[in-house]
Amino acid sequence: MNTSPDSTSGERLRTILAGFSGDENTIRDGLSSSDAKTRSSALRALDRMGALTTHDLKSHLADESEYVRRRVAQLGAHHTNVHLITLLQDDDLYVAEMAAWAFGERESVSDDELRALIACATQDERALVREACVAALGAIGDVRGLPAILAGCNDKPAVRRRAVLALAPFDGPEVDAALQHALTDNDWQVRQNAEDLVKPR
């Protein structure tokens, strides 16, 4: 099989163009391509034409390419039957970040998904993942996620910035105390975010 750069780029281009012309057969051929970017483009093309199925995404949850898994996480934001917990725990930083973002975009999450977000927000060693999980918990607005968001208010600066913003849906003494503390944070963006919530313009 010819897998030269020219052949794979040509295959990917055909897949992308098929998404605009409505050629679903060509797109589905791209799903089994040996080229990761072609597989990713095929998923995106199916989504664009409204033909992406839950099965399509589930079939690529364990794709060998982090590029494809990241696309599955992105598109999974609007496919709630696709369980993204494994991607939230992915070894690839950006796959995990995208999965957290996807949960925050969903209209609802299951109890298992919420628990996974809370665990990653407080226990994942990667600050970017904790930041994304905290943001997702704020978007979801479930009070069960509040302790993890409050913990994020004492994390690294980037996490603190997101955590302060994630407090917006909540109220109560703990939230007030966290915002008051954030007003004196040594990071100016944390202070600004807190001020925007405490003193909305």
CB-based contact 87:95 (threshold 8 Å): yes
Q: Of 17-21, 42-46, 165-169, 181-185, which gets the smallest average pLDDT?
A: 17-21
Mean pLDDT of the chain, nearest integer: 94
**Model pLDDT for residues 24-79, shown as the tens digit of each residue:** 999 999 999 999 999 999 999 999 999 999 999 999 999 999 999 999 999 999 99
CB-based contact 126:89 (threshold 8 Å): no
Model confidence at 1: pLDDT above 80: no
DSSP 8-state secondary structure symbol assigned to residue 147: H
Q: How far apart are CA 127 and CA 136, in angstroms?
A: 14
DSSP-derived secondary structure for 28-75: HHHHT-SSHHHHHHHHHHHHHTT---HHHHHTTTT-S-HHHHHHHHHH
Model confidence at 128: pLDDT above 60: yes
Count CA within 13 A, CB hemisphere, residue 67.
11
For residue 121, give the amino acid letter: A
Q: How far apart are CA 139 and CA 121, in angstroms?
A: 14
Read off the pLDDT of each residue in 145-167 and give the average, rounded to a whole number: 98
Model confidence at 171: pLDDT above 50: yes
pLDDT of residue 56: 97
Statement: 53-198 belongs to CATH 1.25.10.10? yes
Instruction: Give the start-to-end residue ranges of the domains of the chain.
Output: 1-52, 53-198
